[in-house]
Amino acid sequence: MTALTIKNLNVWFGAHHDRVDAVRGANFEVQVGESFGLVGESGSGKSTILKAITGLAPTWSGDISVEGTPLSGAKRDRAFYKTVQMVFQDPYASLHPRHTVDQVLSETLQLHGFKDIDTRVVKLLDDVGLGGKFRFRYPHQISGGQRQRVAVARALAGEPDILLLDEPTSALDVSVQAEILNLLTDLRDEHKLTYLMVSHDLPVIGHMCDRLAVMKDGEIVEVMDSEDLRQGTAKHDYSRSLLAASAAA
Amino acid sequence: MSLLEVENLWVRFPTRQGIFDAVRGVSFNLERERLGIVGESGSGKSMTGRAILRLIRKPGIVEADSIKLEGQNLLDLSEPEMREVRGQKISMVMQDPKFSLNPVMTIGDQIMEAYLLHNNTSKAQARVKAIEMLEAVSIRDPERVMRAYPHEMSGGMGQRIMIAMMLIPDPQILIADEPTSALDVSVQRQVLDIMDGLVKKRGMGLIFISHDLNLVSEFCDRVLIMYAGRIVEVCDADKLHEAKHPYTQGLLNSLPRLDQPKKYLEVLQRDEAWTKEDSVRGTR
Ligand SMILES: Nc1ncnc2c1ncn2[C@@H]1O[C@H](COP(=O)(O)OP(=O)(O)OP(=O)(O)O)[C@@H](O)[C@H]1O
Ligand SMILES: Nc1ncnc2c1ncn2[C@@H]1O[C@H](COP(=O)(O)OP(=O)(O)OP(=O)(O)O)[C@@H](O)[C@H]1O
Ligand SMILES: [Mg+2]
Ligand SMILES: [Mg+2]
């Protein structure tokens, strides 16, 4: 079964001379239980695809289906948020500055209709490797990586099927990155989760994903298997240069 | 005399559970070089950078024997004098770039304002310069970006705009906190080249805070490795992969590799004893 279908997707912002065609004619499918990566140039439209799915980019055309159900416009119902959750690139901007970690997680759990809030908050913090001492802190009282773990915990709160992950570990140090990626691997096994993951870190994509799409200037230039990524065999010039630059680093 | 000398720096926060020491007695110096600071999340990298500029928010406290910029102890300066230092001599690119931009002002107005503050010139000239700066950090359509607001920028564009702005005052020291974490490799390279040029041509000192061990190893001259608010190891950047401390080795081993696929990544096994070790001096 397909978890996510994107067909001929166009996303644009603004009008007239400020119009930006951020995504043009994107096509891909993600199967249930699969991890699919999006890589490519900065500003090429990776985050925009995730935003279009979650209704944060209102002007788009083409088809987006989630578990067989087509989406339209920018309104998403409760059932959608029960199925799909997103972890944002910028954890600072996505956490309310005046809400403690506890408030962020409790409120999310309440919205999803859970009753055993207290137990679940403790479990979520534990799942993302944050101890109880962080529970009553505000976003500015924790480090960048700790904030990102809170963001992952919040996304997991509603036990979604599909996680959209925008650079989930780019703010994390490598040891926490390893912990979070292992956590995501376990969660996928346990709950048959599907991931759509944006990262500029090719080894991270190679580690987590089965297949990936390479983007440049609003377009998907190539969809490849992670095995191709490991072997360094790309078809398109841009993907080849991306692989080469990453191998040199 | 070093460009910057930090002696016995502490950063403390009162919390519900008592005083928390985020930085514990760190000493190092900075020459006209690229000094990397690596270490796990929460180890005190950002707080070290911010403390130098006395940018720790209340109720946080900064204590040090001295923090000397070319011999001048920054701890003796008044707040207005410190503002001069921040504006002119030491620039910092914050870890959350979009958060440090003004959300209700266009990118163009912000860059031009910063430029005009430091250069006695016309608005038209400032505009030309602003566009040049955006081009220098590989922004594709600078004219559009000039008219745009921060929330309309991608993650990597936000980072590049912050870097462009921090270089305007031609600082003696640039503290860059995760400046390239959202950039793809090719743009990353261009941004590093710019910083590199400033170190080599203008003798700027660069403190480069990053999680990316490979990048730091390749790009920097020296590296400080931080754990729990202390420096556990100092090494030449190109020798980072031969690091001795089990913590540093643990960090290196937790990296995913394209040539060695495996189901689970290695996770750092922390040792309580590391917390008690004395901070290593990062001076030379
Ligand atoms: N709200 C918005 N209004 C106007 N333009 C926008 C908006 N959001 C994104 N854009 C533009 O769309 C383009 C694609 O942005 P997007 O954030 O998808 O890039 P990205 O591939 O995620 O890049 P990065 O790797 O730097 O995060 C950029 O040119 C950006 O300026
Ligand atoms: N206002 C505060 N009150 C209490 N503790 C704080 C406060 N601000 C920061 N801390 C703590 O200080 C420690 C060091 O934080 P710092 O931001 O320097 O970490 P870092 O090394 O930059 O981590 P990262 O790589 O995740 O950005 C963290 O454990 C953090 O939780
Ligand atoms: Mg993005
Ligand atoms: Mg930090």
What's A244's domain CATH number?
3.40.50.300
- Whether B1 has a pLDDT exceeding 60, the answer reads yes
Let me know: does B226 contact B277? Beta carbons within 8 Å: no
Tokens matching residue B107: 């990118």
B21 forms bridges with which residues in the sheet?
B12
Query: In chain B, what are the domain boundaries?
Result: 98-170
Which residues constitute the domain of residue A178? Answer: 34-59+76-248
* Closest residue CA from atom 3 of ligand 1: B152
Question: Per residue in A17-73, pLDDT tens?
Answer: 889 999 999 999 999 999 999 999 989 999 999 999 999 999 999 999 999 999 999
Which is it for strands B66-69 and B4-15: parallel, antiparallel or unpaired? antiparallel
The verdict on a CB contact (< 8 Å) between A18 and B40 is no
The verdict on a CB contact (< 8 Å) between A175 and B250 is yes
**Predicted ipTM of the assembly:** 0.83
Phi-psi region of B138 (alpha: psi -120 to 50; beta: other; left: phi over 0): left
Residue A249's pLDDT band (boundaries 50, 70, 90)?
low
Report how far ligand 2's centroid is from the alpha carbon of B175 (Å).
17
- Whether A183 has a pLDDT exceeding 70, the answer reads yes
Let me know: does B208 contact B188? Beta carbons within 8 Å: no
Mean pLDDT, range A166-173, rounded to an integer: 84
B27-36, B187-196, B228-237: range with lowest mean pLDDT? B187-196
pLDDT for the residue numbered B45: 95
- Look up residue B205 and give its amino acid: G
Whether a cis peptide bond, with omega within 30° of 0, leads into B179 is no
pLDDT for the residue numbered B71: 95
Residue A140's pLDDT band (boundaries 50, 70, 90)?
confident
* Closest residue, chain B, to A217 (C-alpha): B140
Question: Per residue in B79-136, pLDDT tens?
Answer: 999 999 997 899 998 877 666 788 899 999 999 998 998 889 999 999 999 999 999 8
* Closest residue, chain B, to A238 (C-alpha): B186
A24-28, A120-124, A177-181, A209-213: range with lowest mean pLDDT? A177-181
Tell me the pTM.
0.88
Complete DSSP assignment for A204-244: HHHHH-SEEEEEETTEEEEEEEHHHHHHT--SSHHHHHHHH
Residue A84 lies in a domain: yes
**C-alpha B93: how far from its chain's center?**
6
Percent above pLDDT 70 for chain A: 97
Residue A67 lies in a domain: no
Q: Which residues 6+ apart lie within 8 Å of A45 measured at CB?
A: A11, A22, A23, A24, A26, A215, A217, A218, A219
The dihedral sign for the CA sequence A220, A226, A228, A229: positive
Alpha-carbon distance B25 to B11, whole Å?
9
Question: Per residue in B37-82, pLDDT tens?
Answer: 999 888 999 999 999 999 998 899 999 999 999 999 999 999 999 9
CB atoms within 10 A of CB B216: 22
Residue A206 lies in a domain: yes
b vs e for A213-226, b when ≥16 Cβ sit within 10 Å of the residue's Cβ?
A: bbbbebbbbbbbeb
Report how far ligand 1's centroid is from the alpha carbon of B144 (Å).
12
Residue A24 lies in a domain: no
Mean per-residue pLDDT over chain B, rounded: 91
**A136: chain B residues, CB-CB within 8 Å:** 16
- Structural domains counted in chain A: 1
CB atoms within 10 A of CB A209: 23
Smallest Cβ–Cβ distance between B42 and the set A41, A146, A247 belongs to A146
Alpha-carbon distance A161 to A84, whole Å?
6
